[in-house]
Structure 1
Amino acid sequence: MRFTRLVAAACALPLAAAATLLGTSAADATGSAYAALGDSYSAGVGAGDYAGSSGGCRRSTKAYPQLWAAAHAPSSFAFTACDGATTTDVINNQLGPLSQSTSLVSITAGADDAGFASVMTTCVLSSDTVCLNRIAQAEDYFRGTLQSRLDHVYSVIRAKAPAARVVVLGYPRFYQLNGSCRAGMSEAKRSAVNRAADEVDSVIARRAADHGFTFRDVRRAFAPHEICGGHPWLHSVTVPLGDSYHPTAEGQSSGYLPEFTAAAR
């Protein structure tokens, strides 16, 4: 999700150790042809160490797809996830590597379709009432238009990669309620933002299941590590601006990577 304008408007585990902890070995997936699709949560925005060749997509060497590929040595690895990507962007710009030989696909997508960056900007800058109304609009979008958009992108992925195991990952809740934060958004806003994350995850999980894809819920992994928690795996408003509300490198390696690894076996 792209948050570059938010503040302007307002004012790893080592790979070998990770594989050991997860109980996997490189041999588990040898021969896999893997394609990593999606938005900034798959690109690794917020984790740092962005590949210069990825330009504005800001693909990180610490993103869970890169960590998994380094630990499991697939026969091929196409990393096309991109900061700010909607489901339409995935279809138009990311599916070139998919083929009948693709055996594994990962994707996070959906939040940018609903303009979640705009939601967070509104909530940072505006009153509780305005924030909650904007979140309600996003939830209506999740329950309505987003479902058909997810159906479309999932159908295209299946058509292009008919033999692939497709793993769809969700989004974490952003905030630990009644946590350590002493400034920033109100608890009412934080609670509503969390509720929106629950709503989009529920929609994504249902659509993924209907297409025969595997959904992995990262909310439990992030639960002790949300913003306002003692050791957050998510950035709050930060510099660089685009990292705001994205997983840290530890969020990628300890939150997303184990969930993907479990599903990719």
Structure 2
Amino acid sequence: MPRRVRTALVAFLATVLGVVAVPATAAQAAGENYVALGDSYSSGVGAGSYDLSTCLRSQKSYAPLWAAAHSVTSFRFPACGGAVTADVLNDQVGALSSSTTLVTITIGGNDAGFADVMSGCRFGSTSSCESAVAGAKAFATSTLPARLDATYAAIRGRAPNARLVVLGYPRLFETGWCGLLAMSSYKRTILNQAADVLDGVIADRAAAAGGTYVDARPFFAGHGVCAASPWIRDVTGVIEAYHPNADGYRYGYLAALTAAIG
């Protein structure tokens, strides 16, 4: 049968039967070439079962969980605990290419001094906590935007065909009674407020870069430190302190990402 006749026949049958002929390459196109960038909230610090690198990457983090649940053609995972924006630019964006179709990232918390703020508030006075929080908020609103812009632009340059999905950070604390040795409700409140400021900056710059911002806070609500069923580790986790646990990555971050992009 001549090719033109065969093509016409297929089109006719598709119309009659109410179906659409799908090219053989459509199934391949459905698979994502996914790269997960970012800091410890992407690498999976707090989830356990880490790889042998110094980045504390865990297969229990949201990124490998999402990749396993979807039709992913390829998955690269250079996210690294402790990363700042400069680390993404210097060490991570090399994993991207024009064939990359999806990029996720959490970044900015370490630039704003996450670890120092948390330790200052956990072990220092109320006034030292207030000072640390004020400094972090000032940095987030004045210096961080340009760093985020440069990071997102580099991602766009290396992966021009990819969806950019930027995930924010959860509020870390519930603010009710938490025992005599816990941080005060006031400290926990101002730390949550600082997270809101940071998330607002990240959301704004992600939108400016044409990315999709994923707000993790609603998904972690009721499961912060001091909750009956916490998804955030307390200071007892040492290096894992104030990071999601395995439930936080699965039921918090993964749920948020899935709600945003499927």
TM bin, normalised by shorter chain, reads: 0.7 to 0.9
Counterpart for residue 258 of structure 1: 255
**Residue in 2 that maps onto 1:37:** 37
Measure how far apart 1:96 and its partner are: 1.2
Q: 1:56 aligns with which of 51, 54, 57?
A: 54
Would the alpha carbon gap of residues 154 and 185 (structure 1) be closer, same or farther in structure 2, given more than 3 Å must change? same
- The structural deviation recorded for 1:181 is 3.8
Percent identity over paired residues: 50
1:171 matched to which residue of 2?
169
Which one of 201, 204, 223 corresponds to residue 202 of structure 2?
Answer: 204
In 1, the alpha carbon distance for the partners of 2:29 and 2:174 equals: 35
TM-score relative to the length of structure 1: 0.86
1:195 partnered with 2:193: yes
CA distance in 1, matches of 2:233, 2:219: 16
Partner residue in 2 for 1:186: 184
Tell me which residue corresponds to 1:12: none
The Cα RMSD (Å) is: 1.5
Residue in 2 that maps onto 1:100 = 98
Secondary structure, aligned partner of 1:168: strand
- Among 135, 138, 154, the residue aligned to 2:136: 138
Q: Identify the residue that residue 241 of structure 2 maps to in structure 1.
A: 244
Query: Which of the numbers 226, 239, 247 marks the counterpart of 2:224?
Result: 226
TM-aligned CA deviation for residue 162 of structure 1: 0.6
Q: 1:166 to 1:28 in 2, by over 3 A?
A: farther
Alpha-carbon separation, structure 2, partners of 1:256 and 1:202: 17
CA offset at residue 126 of structure 1? 1.2
Question: What stretches of structure 1 move > 6 A for 4+ residues in a row?
Answer: none
Q: What 5-or-longer segments of structure 1 have no aligned partner?
A: 1-26
Q: Whose relative contact order is higher, 1 or 2, with alpha carbons under 8 Å and at least 6 apart? A: 1
- Displacement, 1:141? 0.2
Deviations 1:194-214 (A, max 9, x none): 011000000000000011000
Residue 29 of structure 1 deviates from its aligned partner by 8.5
Mapped pair 1:67 → 2:80: no
Superimposed CA distance per residue, residues 96-153 of structure 1 (whole angstroms, 9 cap, x where no aligned partner): 1211111000000000001110011111221101110110000000000000000000
- The code of the aligned residue for 1:44 comes to G
Checking the alignment, whether the CA contact within 8 Å between 1:29 and 1:73 is kept in structure 2 is: no
TM-score, normalised relative to structure 2: 0.87
Deviates more, 1:175-184 or 1:156-165: 175-184
Contact kept in structure 1, 2:34 and 2:76, CA below 8 Å: yes
Structure 2 CA distance for aligned equivalents of residues 62 and 30 of structure 1:
24
2:214 counterpart residue number:
216
Q: Which amino acid aligns with 1:221?
A: F
Residues in 2 aligned to 1:122 and 1:95: alpha-carbon distance in whole angstroms: 32
Q: CA deviation at 1:262?
A: 2.7
Give the corresponding residue for 1:126.
124
Superposed displacement of residue 230, structure 1: 1.0
CA distance in 2 between counterparts of 1:170 and 1:234 reads 15
Runs of 5+ consecutive residues of structure 2 not aligned to the other structure: 1-26
Contact 2:177–2:185 (Cα < 8 Å) also in 1: no
